[in-house]
Amino acid sequence: MEYKFSERVLSLKPSAIREIFKYAADPTYISLSAGNPAPEAFPAKQLGEISAKLMAENPILALQYSTTEGYVPLREHLKDYMKKTHNVGRDFDDLIVTSGAQQIMDLFTKSILNEGETVLCEAPSFIGSLNDFRSYRAKLVGIPMDTDGMNMEALEKALQTERNVKFIYTIPNFQNPSGITMSLEKRRRLYELAKQYGVMILEDNPYGDLRYEGEPLPTIKSFDEDGIVLYAGSFSKVISPGMRVGYAIGPKPVLAKMTVCKQGQDVHTNIWSQVVCYRFMTEYDFDAHLEGLRAIYTKKRALLLDLMEKNLAPHITWDPFNGGLFAWCHLPKGVDMMAFVQKALEKKVCVVPGTAFLTSENEPCDAFRINFSTPTDEQLTKGIELLGETIREMI
């Protein structure tokens, strides 16, 4: 049979970059291309304890159908927690649990974007979100990044000139892939611009708790007195990605539409994992757990910075990253980025070419992404040394 696919998926072209990702699974390669939490960052013992108790005492709760909006105690706890710790949530807002934050990208886009309408996003930005927006035939317009976040002049210009802009997508903290954090001033400006032009903001904050230097900045959602921000929270980087639990906080009418879409997508999120997350947050010292994660990654980041200074500087430079899992590295003029990535691959070290994160893979790009959360210290050391060797051979 000759399959006739929908127009929306026909536009999803397999990426040239996939070829490179294939090597990342090969154990003879050093992968600096993942985005996984460090294995030692999982509270495995505690999650095991909670799950064993749950299955012994109330297995039906974990195994039976549940509600689309999510496990009520988890929803209530997260609402309180996010209000108390981040001043997120007003009377017009509600919270639903999702199958990872990725599902928020999908449900939000499905609920508010018609085919051909525009999403403004950071350039570069998270490939998983961009591909999902594309699957609803969004027109993606990338806004260049300064080292303190999206360029606000470019953003305002896009709001003035682009047609049918539906929302602005941002990862304000330790952005994937750039590691950049948006300044407080720009957060306020972004909010005012969105309000002025009548577009919504999708604030994606998977890394917010993973700050290793400097003071936390308020979320954009904390300014939201107008019901224009949809906030995406995630347990993937702070409890476990394998459990696929995230949460959306936003205006009730928007969440109501997203809930109808979620009903058709997966009925509800795995309830066993929702209960485990709830009990981990409430019966254990969640703050101490976050401190522990920051201690693990602060060390890894320090090691990376040291290695980059020794092996990559001054030829390769990097944007400031005070948290998160990634460093965004710029090659010197005259060095072709794809050629560099290929040459590194020949030395058996994988990084992600920056073009993967642009709205078009054909745009010029001098950068590649390094992940420092997944590799061991030994792998990181060897990997950065090999990248140093690579650049010295190319200049």
CB of 198 to its own copies, least distance (A): 7
Name, in order, each residue with C-beta under 8 angstroms of 230's C-beta and a sequence gap of 6 or more: 104, 108, 167, 200, 201, 202, 203, 248, 249, 250, 251, 254
CB of 32 to its own copies, least distance (A): 16
* DSSP states along 120-155: EEEES--HHHHHHHHHTTPEEEEEEEETTEE-HHHH
Site track 78-97 with its own copies (rule: CB under 8 A), x = hit? --------------------
Are the C-beta atoms of residues 167 and 200 closer than 8 Å to each other? yes
Residue 37 engages its own copies in binding (rule: CB under 8 A) = yes
Site track 232-271 with its own copies (rule: CB under 8 A), x = hit? ----x---xxxxx------x-xx--x--xx-xxxxxxxxx
Q: Which of 52, 295, 302, 313 binds its own copies (CB under 8 A)?
A: 52
- Per CB under 8 A, contacts with its own copies among 199-228 are 200, 226-228
Span interacting with its own copies, options 47-55, 118-126, 300-308, 320-328, rule CB under 8 A = 47-55
CB of 145 to its own copies, least distance (A): 23
Closer residue to its own copies (CB): 52 or 395? 52
Q: Where are the alpha helices (DSSP H) in the chain?
A: 7-10, 18-24, 44-57, 59-63, 72-86, 102-112, 127-135, 152-161, 184-197, 252-266, 271-283, 286-311, 337-346, 377-394
Span interacting with its own copies, options 36-44, 79-87, 312-320, 337-345, rule CB under 8 A = 36-44
Q: Which of 31, 33, 111, 371 binds its own copies (CB under 8 A)?
A: 111
Q: Which of 198, 314, 334, 364 binds its own copies (CB under 8 A)?
A: 198
Q: Which of 75, 110, 139, 301 binds its own copies (CB under 8 A)?
A: 110
Q: Which of 100, 177, 353, 354 binds its own copies (CB under 8 A)?
A: 100
Closer residue to its own copies (CB): 111 or 181? 111
- Per CB under 8 A, contacts with its own copies among 1-30 are 1, 3-9, 12
- Per CB under 8 A, contacts with its own copies among 142-171 are 166
183 φ, ψ (degrees, to nearest 5) = -70, 160
CB of 185 to its own copies, least distance (A): 23
Alpha carbons 231 and 228: distance in angstroms, whole number:
10
CA–CA distance from 21 to each of 25, 31, 36, 135, 244 (Å)?
Answer: 8, 9, 14, 21, 22
Closer residue to its own copies (CB): 147 or 263? 263
Burial class for 268, CB neighbours closer than 10 Å (0-12, 13-18, 19+): buried
CB of 237 to its own copies, least distance (A): 11
CB of 240 to its own copies, least distance (A): 4
Single out the residue of 84, 67, 55 nearest to residue 281, CA to CA: 84
Closer residue to its own copies (CB): 265 or 322? 265
Computed on alpha carbons and rounded to an integer, the radius of gyration of the chain in Å comes to 21
Alpha carbons 378 and 254: distance in angstroms, whole number:
47
Single out the residue of 128, 125, 130 nearest to residue 145, CA to CA: 125
Residue 116 engages its own copies in binding (rule: CB under 8 A) = no
Residue 36 engages its own copies in binding (rule: CB under 8 A) = yes
- Per CB under 8 A, contacts with its own copies among 270-289 are 270-273
Number of residues that bind its own copies (CB under 8 A): 75
Residue 105 engages its own copies in binding (rule: CB under 8 A) = yes
> What is the DSSP pairing of strand 118-123 with strand 139-146?
parallel
Residue 66 engages its own copies in binding (rule: CB under 8 A) = yes
First and final C-alpha spacing in the chain: 52
Closer residue to its own copies (CB): 208 or 251? 251
Are the C-beta atoms of residues 395 and 333 closer than 8 Å to each other? no
CB of 161 to its own copies, least distance (A): 20
Closer residue to its own copies (CB): 4 or 333? 4
Alpha carbons 74 and 96: distance in angstroms, whole number:
9
